[in-house]
Amino acid sequence: MENTPTQVLASEENLSEVNVDEISARTKKGFSLIGFGALVLLAGCIVTMLMPSSNFLYEVILYVPTSVGACMVIYGMYCVME
């Protein structure tokens, strides 16, 4: 049984509504990740500036939040631009 042009158009409209909802959710998730990643980067920067720079904990606090925050920002940008 063949689909009529009206049925095809209706199915394409439903598909586009689903795609718009998925894209909107992905974009919202991306901006949330970018914001939270930026906060992690800022917190790591502030804590690093306030700590003395001669112990192992300094290096952990310097590199871990920077790596995690940067990865979150990059993945968030991927979600927004996809």
Q: Is the separation of the CB atoms in 29 and 42 below 8 Å?
A: no
What mean pLDDT is predicted for residues 25-37?
A: 96
C-beta separation of 65 from 43 below 8 A: yes
Count of domains in the chain? 1
Q: What is the mean pLDDT of the chain?
A: 84
Quick check: is 6 in a domain? no
Stronger pLDDT, 11 or 22, i.e. the higher one: 22
Read off the pLDDT of each residue in 6-30 and give the average, rounded to a whole number. 75
- For 30, the domain range is 26-81
> Does some domain include residue 67?
yes
Q: Is residue 75 part of a domain?
A: yes
Task: Tell me, yes or no, whether 55 lies in a domain.
Answer: yes
C-alpha closest to that of 79 among 36, 34, 42: 34
Q: What is the pLDDT of residue 15?
A: 61
| Domain-located, residue 5 | no
| Percent of residues, the chain, with pLDDT higher than 90 | 48
Q: Is residue 63 part of a domain?
A: yes
Note whether residue 54 is domain-resident: yes
Distances (CA, A) of 63 to 2, 25, 36, 40: 60, 31, 17, 11
Tell me if 44 is assigned to some domain.
yes
* DSSP 8-state assignment for residue 2: P
